[in-house]
Structures are given as structure tokens and as C-alpha cells.
Structure 1
Amino acid sequence: MNGPVVVGVDGSPSSLAAVEVAAREAGLRGVGLRLVHAFGWPAAHVPPGGRPWPSGSAGMRELVDGTLAEAERRAHESAAGTEIMRDVVVGEPVMVLEIESRTASLVVVGSRGLSRFGALLLGSTAGHLAAHAACPVLVVRDRPNPSGPVLLAVDGSPASRGAVEFAFAQASLHGTDLIALHAWNARTDRAYDGPSDPPFVTYDEHRLRDEEQRVLAEALGGLGERYPDVDVRRSLVRGRVRHTLIEASADAGLVVAGARGRGGFAGLLLGSVSQALLHHARCPVAVVRTGKE
């Protein structure tokens, strides 16, 4: 999709950091940047074309204008020459940005925000978008490392194909390496023949490792030829999925995961693995949702 990069702006340090990341992403993609402030005015009933400002709220209007002006200044500094649009939209941030995602190539939000209007709080806006947005969502955590590799969380499910493609594209755009990490544990369903098996069933670890190696290889199939400029490093790690990903994110510039999966990634963005990434990853996290709810 050639739509703009959309970034939620609320004036918090986290959202301003997201603006800088979004501006760079828009510049690399050669698309415009939309700065969106969602004016979540309680019980607002604004007619089409009406003002988003209640009577007697000139101070609030000046505050929002100042917030967007600062965001635009930072965007220009981060990606000079990129077309920048800004808009104030009446509505709850989570719904506004979900609608924006339908015509965007990427939505960027901060991991923390203000508790007043336009708040972008992790667990509400960021979490909902990651699960429901129509385009990839990038949640900016900590201070991004532009030179760090893209870390792809591989689970091997067909639904994660979009995340794999996004990770390759990101690595190509940024000129960085791609680390395809597949974490596995011998105590998985695939180690058993049936639910009646005892918990201490004997398994062939070498056979399991070969199977996980195949899963990793098939997940990346065909993408290396499409992105010959990307140096791919495959990493097959036996261990806890959440712990392995969080530790690996310390040296990454971005973690990319799909919104659905199997095994350790089943229910991503609704379960423990997704929450661990969004709350504890040591770099920005990009989530690519596949399919409809």
C-alpha cells in the first residue's frame, strides 16, 4: 500500500518520539506523513463540518495547535522534504487511528501517552490497534537504534507470512541485517502423540530440532530472492519464547511479529507473548495483523 504513514500525536514525550520515527519511515517509503490528534471530547456531538472545539475552549485549541506545531517541527527535522499533513479529529483515539489504518501504509504510536484528550496509552490505543488495525502498527519503545538489525519472531504459521514480508522490507529500507528467530521448547504439543501421553514421555530431541529447523526455513522461503540485499541470519533457540525474544530485542532496532500464530505465538496480541513484547521489549515493536477477526 502506498498510503501515508500515520502517527498519533498527543504531546507526550513518547508520542513526539513516535513522530520522529514515523517521519523517517515516511521518508524511506517516499510517502506522506499524517499527524493525527484524536480529540476524545466526552459526549461530543459535532455536526459534519462543525468545530471540534466546545464553546469557551480557546485555550485548549491553542494547546492542541501548539502540540501539532511541535510535532511538525520534529518531523521536518527527521525527514526534510517529506510531505506533512496534520489533522485534529473528533473521536476516541483508538477508533480514530483504527479508521486511519484503512488507508495508511503504517500506523505509529508511542508506548506511553497523556491521560487527557488524545491519550495514547499502552493497553488501550496501542494494544487495540495491534490487534485490529488494517495495516502494520509500530509501537515505539525506548530509544530506537537505527543501526540495529530487524528481529523477526518466527512461528511458522501461514498467518504470519505478512510479518515475515514486512520484516524483510524493513531491513531492506533501513539497510540492516535481519535476524529470523524461532524459539522452541521440547515440552510442546508436538513432543507428544496424544493427550493421554504421560508428562515425562520420551522424545527424540534431534528429530524435534530438525522439525523446528524446517519450520524456520519454510517461513523464510522465497523472501531471500525477493530481497537479495538483506543479510539474513537464522537463529534457532531452544528456550522460553517470551524470555528469548525480550533478551534478543536488546540488540535489535525493531522486533516484528505477526498477530496470529501457533505454538508459543498462539493468540498473539491477546495473550502473554504479545503483552510481554509490547511491555518489555527493549526496542520498538511492529505488529502485522493477518486476516479478519
Structure 2
Amino acid sequence: MKKYVLVGVDDTPESRLALHWAVEAAAGRGAPVRVIRAYLNEASRWPAIGVEGYVPPPMPLDRYQHELDDAVRYARDRLGYYGGSGWLANSDPSSALLLEAADAEMVVVGTTSRNKMSAAVLGSVATSVSAKAPCPVVVVRGEHRTGPVVVGTDGSPDSEEAVEFAFDAADRTGQPLEVVYCWQPQAGHLAPAESTHELLVDWLAESLMGYRDKYPAVKVRASVVEGRASTRLIALSDTASLVVVGSRGRGGVSGLLLGSVSQSLLHHADSPVAIVRRHQD
């Protein structure tokens, strides 16, 4: 079975943006789109004890089905009849998306503007899916725009997967690629900062040679910059069409859901963010 681009929708404008992004990505890959509209049965939230006489309000299933049908129709109008399918899931969104993610090429979700309330919503869906999905997860924020694909690398296995994804994305969209290695000089380090910077520049250029050969049409700019990776990448997201990072960096701890850089980008980037998990053999 051909892998699909999986997208979650609801009744918000942000999910519509995610749907548009997912359909465009699927068109570039020759893949279908699978749409999930999840909802929770209110009756399941109330315990049997202590609520005698309570009658939960009826679920607006017709409205949910209508939202799902509209999204599937949008995908089929652009990808053909077999280019769109959907599932109305009586589940929380994270669980529904993760269940379907096993057969997905990528998962796409939307998010709202950057504020405390949206952070709470994001934490329950996008962060959970980004941390647990077995495929890349793209969190869409804002309207589609052109601009470079930006990827952060630190030489870790997770970031190598992110670089591969970023080269592929730039190749498919025709956008330039900016590869960034961020470092912070340590006080008392034996080697001068200038020497370390030069070594890192050489290492970065060598690490990208294989990708350049595989994607010769991609225009690549590689840079080594001082500063925190999250701060630098968030700044670059102002003009990027997509920012790509691994789910954990070199210092990632297996017990954490997501690394600090990916967490920061999910909450503060101005562009869509792709969180790429390392494939487990």
C-alpha cells in the first residue's frame, strides 16, 4: 500500500492551513492524503458515580462528518479521487493521529498563534505527535510562503535524518537550502575560538558532500554560527518556508519526549517546523 501524508483537521483556520500544506506536499510526492477528524464523546468524560441525573449533550456528529467530508473533497479535487480518504475518529487527536501514523510518510498538524493558551493546546497534540510518531511531523503555522528550507545540524544521528529530509524538501519545492551548525565557545577551552570555527566549517562542508551529490539541483548555503541553536533557528524562521530539526540533538536524553531545540521551535518559530525522528532499524 502506498504511504500517505496524514493530516489532522478540526474547525479552526489553522487546521485548514495544515490541510493545504499537506495536500501540496502530497502532490509533490505523488502520494495520497489521509485526513483525520477526531472528537471525544463527552459521555466518556463523566464518571458513573456522583453525577446521577446528568445527561451529556448530544455530540454534533453531523458537523464533524461535514468537516471531514469537506477536507477529503479538497484533497480529491487536487489529487484525484483516490488521492483523499478520511476517518472520523472517536478519540483524542493525538491518539488517532499516532494510530494512523504507522503507514504515513509524514504527519501534518496545525497550530495557533504563540500565546499561553495555544502552548497548552500545542502541548497536547503537536508535541505529543512529534515526539512519538514513527515518521516526520510538520507543524504548520501561518500562510504558505516561499523562502529557504533551513535545517539545523549538530552531527548527531537525529540531525543527519533531518538534513536528508531538508535536502529532499528543498529539491521537491525548488527552494534553496540553508544548513546551520550552531556552537557556543566554552570559556577555558584549549583551542582558540577561531581555530575551532575553522575546523567546524571544514567538518560541515565534508558532512554535506554526499547530500550535494545526491541532490545536485539544490542550492546550498552552509554556515557555522555562534549562539544557541534554538535562538538562531527561530530568527531564521522569519523568512524560511520550512525549518527542519531532529527530534533530539547530540545531548538528547532518551527519557525526554523532545529535545529543547525542537520544543522551542514548535512554540516560537514563524514558519512550519518539521521534526524528524531517527529511523529505528
For the aligned pair, the TM-score class normalised by the smaller chain equals: 0.7 to 0.9
Change (3 A) 1:241 1:103: same
Trace 1:197-212 onto structure 2 (pairs within 5 A).
Answer: 199-200=187-188, 203-212=191-200
Match for residue 66 of structure 2? 66
Match for residue 30 of structure 1? 30
Deviations 1:262-287 (A, max 9, x none): 15x77786343222201111100001
2:208 matched to 1:223?
no
Give the letter aligned to residue 112 of structure 1. T
Cα contact 1:182–1:237 (8 A) shared by 2: yes
- In 2, the alpha carbon distance for the partners of 1:224 and 1:74 equals 36
CA displacement at 1:122 relative to structure 2: 0.8
Match for residue 98 of structure 2? 98
Cα contact 2:105–2:135 (8 A) shared by 1: yes
Trace 1:52-91 onto structure 2 (pairs within 5 A).
Answer: 57=58, 60-75=60-75, 79-81=78-80, 83-91=83-91
Trace 1:110-189 onto structure 2 (pairs within 5 A).
Answer: 110-112=110-112, 121-145=121-145, 147-187=146-186
Q: CA RMSD in A?
A: 2.7
Q: 1:257 is matched with which residue: 245, 248, 257?
A: 245
CA displacement at 1:70 relative to structure 2: 3.3
Percent sequence identity over aligned pairs: 39
Deviations 1:42-93 (A, max 9, x none): 5659xxxxxxxxx984x6112112212332354456x353711121122221
CA displacement at 1:219 relative to structure 2: 3.7
- In 2, the alpha carbon distance for the partners of 1:140 and 1:221 equals 30
CA displacement at 1:164 relative to structure 2: 1.1
Q: What is the TM-score with the length of structure 2 in the denominator?
A: 0.84
CA displacement at 1:213 relative to structure 2: 1.6
Change (3 A) 1:232 1:242: same
Deviations 1:15-45 (A, max 9, x none): 1110000011111111111111112225659
Cα contact 1:136–1:286 (8 A) shared by 2: yes
CA displacement at 1:149 relative to structure 2: 1.2
2:265 matched to 1:288?
no
- In 2, the alpha carbon distance for the partners of 1:56 and 1:208 equals 64
Give the letter aligned to residue 85 of structure 1. S
- In 2, the alpha carbon distance for the partners of 1:173 and 1:143 equals 19
Q: What is the TM-score with the length of structure 1 in the denominator?
A: 0.81
Match for residue 52 of structure 2? none
SS of aligned partner of 1:105: strand
- In 2, the alpha carbon distance for the partners of 1:31 and 1:201 equals 50
Give the letter aligned to residue 183 of structure 1. C
Question: Tell me, which stretches of 5 or more residues in structure 2 are unaligned?
Answer: 46-55, 114-119
Higher helix share: 2
Cα contact 2:129–2:137 (8 A) shared by 1: yes
Deviations 1:245-272 (A, max 9, x none): 1111111100000112215x77786343
Match for residue 7 of structure 1? 7
Question: Tell me, which stretches of 5 or more residues in structure 1 are unaligned?
Answer: 46-54, 114-119, 188-198
Match for residue 49 of structure 2? none
